A and B are shown apart, each in its own frame.
Chain A
Amino acid sequence: MAHTADNIYYVPHTAKWPLIGSVGLTLLLGGFAAYLNGAAVGANLMWAGLAVMVVMLFGWFGTVVGESESGTYQSWEDKSFRIGMAWFIFSEVMFFAAFFGALFYARSLSVPWLLGEGSGATTHQFLWSAYTEFWPTNGPEDWGDSDFHMGWWPLPFINTVILLTSGLTVTWAHHGIKDGKRGPFILGLFLTVALGFLFVFLQAVEYKEAYHEGLKLTSGIYGSTFFMLTGFHGLHVTLGAIMLTVMLFRAIRGHFTPERHFAFEAAAWYWHFVDVVWLGLFLFVYIL
């Protein structure tokens, strides 16, 4: 074990940000729900909640960054953060697993059943006997009235190259801080952030093209799985890029040492996670 009985684990005395976070979260989600139900006040509540959440995140992380820079945390506390971040990323993996599961279920089970495979023969015959479209499909009632689907060339392929490259630059930055070279650290971070936002931009271009061609969120099960999977991924890329941007500003301010830079590592782990999810997307959503 890394510690001895004489070490004192740091336990903060009070925390005011969690309650503020709960208020913000409730305003944000309750407002969104009211908005979905058509209540005029909903959108206002939602934006107010978002503002509270942003303040909360700055306040909470600001406190932790201050404690970290003043040397409050030793390797013992550091390990708790590592465990926490690792299992948080695992929970994110499982969130994506639900949507990948929906994609696999639709492609290999429910759509074939609608087409009459297995025990679906009578369903097919009596419900939608004219339905013959395998995958990609917008369903037997031709939802959204468009059969356009997104190929892997050129934008998705370019985005794959961009994300893989950003995985290299963030590793280069990591080696920089480990060797105590702040130049490569900052440059590597900057390149990673730039590539990340470039990815998000190109994803937006791709969405625009899709909508132009008639592929929408409402285009049946293909549109649903395509936009929900790539959309949630894009959201996570954005979050990861914001995290890395914070790390970039902290790096410029002189934060982090060759031995102690877990905040950066956590953001880098998160970045590799969105990278891996993208590879799954590229394979199962675009190529296959």
Chain B
Amino acid sequence: MNAYTGTADEHLDHDHGDHHGPAPGYLRWVTTTNHKDIGTLYLWFSLLMFFIGGAMALIIRAELFQPGLQIVDPHFFNQMTTMHALVMIFGVVMPAFVGLANWMLPMMVGAPDMALPRMNNWSFWILPFAFALMLATLFMEGGGPAAGWTLYPPLSLQGGDSLPFVIFSIHMLGASSIMGAINIIATIMNLRAPGMTYMKMPLFVWTWFITAYLLIAVMPVLAGAVTMLLTDAFFGTSFFNAAGGGDPVMFQHIFWFFGHPEVYILILPAFGLVSEIIPTFSRKPLFGYTSMVYATSSIAFLSFIVWAHHMFTVGMPLVGELFFMFTTMLIAVPTGVKVFNWVSTMWRGAMTFETPMLFALGFVVMFTIGGFSGLMLAMTPIDFQYHDTYFVVAHFHYVLVPGAVFGIIAGVYYWLPKWTGHHYNETLGKWHFWLSTVFVNLLFFPMHFVGLAGMPRRIPDYAVQFADFNAIATLGAFGFGFAQILLLVAVVQSILGGAKATGQVWDGTEITGGLEWTLSSPPPYHSFSPQPVVK
């Protein structure tokens, strides 16, 4: 795609007076302004939360292994479903994407660092504090939030002491996301290397650029929604109370105006990752680069006018039901363009199947399954049947786990040799992929069946006819959960040693290009200073 001047060695030699290494000791991680350090912090934090949120999921699945109540009481079960979602969304997928952006965007656009390095530090360092507040609620009177991560009133207003802590935690997470997004936008707009026009930017940069706008547009709306919850609970307002002229359904509208763009925040960067990885291992440039950019933009635009498809059963006027049904189904068009382009990129490519490619291919296949079940849910009359059943759970877990999470894991394996300078253990990586793929389908595919048969979500008990599929799903859950330890092992091994990686890491990057491959592996502490020139 691009041609560059300069080689990896040349960049290493630039040693301007201002250059320096990291601060010594643990202070390096506390006071760092370096995009790679901060990216590393984000990624480790995300992995830690992945295991915490995963443990919560395993509690849920253990309880659902058999019908009846065995392991936890229903109130704690509700806390687990709520916290699992909050942790996985705000603590795992979003920080992992920001971590990948921190590591890679400056290297991909030829920048020395992120545009606003001090604010970058704060974006990260809000996260552990916000999650400390949120997780602490589990030990408070009345336990953690238990009304579901969507916090629908009036139920969410009836919990114990957790409500204000969760609300303020969400405010902090929102502030962190907005600052992260502003930083990404400023970096992309202001720090691209001379000659790198917008339409020469790698797809991961493009998808993050658009994601950052989504974040800035909708995180404040979530902040407003939870602020109204707070004042309804403690200051006597009646936004969501019909007795005072408000409407509980209004919360759902405001929440999902945030919530639907949020699901694209959770998937667009993964689209970008897959669009980087598939060309490299197909040894062909990405098919339809321009259409990828426009498809991503269209998805982002449409995401603002589809929100009420989460609320078909609350009693909207018919015209609303129809409008949101048709706009939602429209999203299938740009999404289809993307899947078509990924497949076309592979067409007649010289393909090899290293771990990142396997996860990317798993993404394409299984994300598409989640996309199709989403299309089913988009149809209002059909959604009347499926609403709040396990079919919905199956749908969004297919787009989030073998979708977003597989995308992240693919990105980690793809760039791990670049970060550490060592190749990871390929055999281990392949084991990780196959175990994950088998178990994730064992876990989520049966949920389609029990959902279609009417098993409601967020309930700790179920009718006996759902027992077999639930037992299978629980086996899949534990298998998938423990398989993720292989990821930790692979990452640690690659940090400690292993076969040396070259600057270009994968031979396919010679064809697909990309500034990040012109740097050594591991790259210098300051990425590009001065900047390369893109021709």
Residues of A within 8 A of B (CB): 1, 3-9, 11-19, 21-23, 25-26, 29-30, 32-33, 36-37, 60, 76, 79-81, 83-84, 87-88, 90-92, 94-99, 101-102, 105-106, 109-111, 113-114, 118-119, 127, 137-141, 143, 216-218, 220-225, 227-228
Contact = CB atoms under 8 A, between A and B. Distances in A.
B216 interface: yes
B164 A33 contact: yes
A137 B245 contact: yes
B129 A224 contact: no
Given A15-B118, A106-B246, A113-B247, 16 more contacts: A5-B194, A7-B530, A9-B191, A19-B31, A25-B126, A30-B168, A37-B161, A76-B190, A101-B257, A102-B239, A102-B254, A110-B242, A114-B245, A140-B242, A143-B238, A221-B238
B16 interface: yes
Contacts of B242: 110, 114, 127, 139-140
B98 interface: no
B120 to A, nearest CB: 9
B483 interface: no
13 contacts: A5-B531, A8-B529, A11-B529, A15-B121, A21-B122, A29-B171, A83-B186, A87-B216, A92-B220, A105-B253, A143-B238, A221-B239, A224-B237
Contacts of B236: 216-218
Contacts of B56: none
A98 B225 contact: yes
Contacts of B246: 106, 110, 139, 220-221, 224
A225 to B, nearest CB: 8
B30 interface: yes
A143 B377 CA distance: 39
Interface residues of B, number: 87
User: Could you tell me the dominant secondary structure of chain B's interface residues?
Assistant: helix
B446 interface: no
B115 interface: yes
B117 A111 contact: no
A26 B244 contact: no
Contacts of B18: 8, 11
B253 A18 contact: no
A101 B254 contact: yes
Contacts of B191: 9, 80
Contacts of B33: 11-15
A114 B242 CA distance: 8
Nearest to A118: B317
A18 B118 contact: yes
Nearest to B128: A22
Interface in B145-183: 161, 164-165, 167-169, 171-172, 175, 178, 181-183
B228 interface: yes
Contacts of A94: 216-218, 220-221
Nearest to A135: B245
A163 B246 CA distance: 31
A60 B190 CA distance: 23
Contacts of A30: 133, 165, 168
A224 B118 contact: no
Contacts of B247: 105-106, 109-110, 113
Contacts of B30: 16, 19
B72 interface: no
Contacts of A139: 238, 241-246
B185 interface: yes
Interface of B: 16, 18, 20, 23, 27, 30-34, 111-113, 115-119, 121-122, 125-126, 128-130, 132-133, 161, 164-165, 167-169, 171-172, 175, 178, 181-183, 185-186, 189-194, 216-221, 223-225, 227-228, 230-231, 234-239, 241-247, 249-250, 253-254, 257, 315, 317, 526, 529-533
Contact of A217 (B32, B119, B223, B235): B235
Contacts of B317: 118-119
Nearest to A42: B164
A138 B245 contact: yes
Contacts of B169: 29
A17 B231 contact: no
B219 A91 contact: yes
B164 to A, nearest CB: 4
Contact of B121 (A18, A81, A110, A140): A18
Contacts of A12: 33, 117-118
B154 to A, nearest CB: 15
B414 to A, nearest CB: 26
B185 A87 contact: yes
A17 B31 CA distance: 8
B77 to A, nearest CB: 24
Contacts of B244: 138-139, 141, 143, 220-221, 224
Nearest to A7: B530
Nearest to A16: B31
Contacts of B111: 9
Nearest to B123: A18
A159 B128 CA distance: 42
Contact of A26 (B129, B183, B220, B227): B129
A9 B118 contact: no
A83 B115 contact: yes
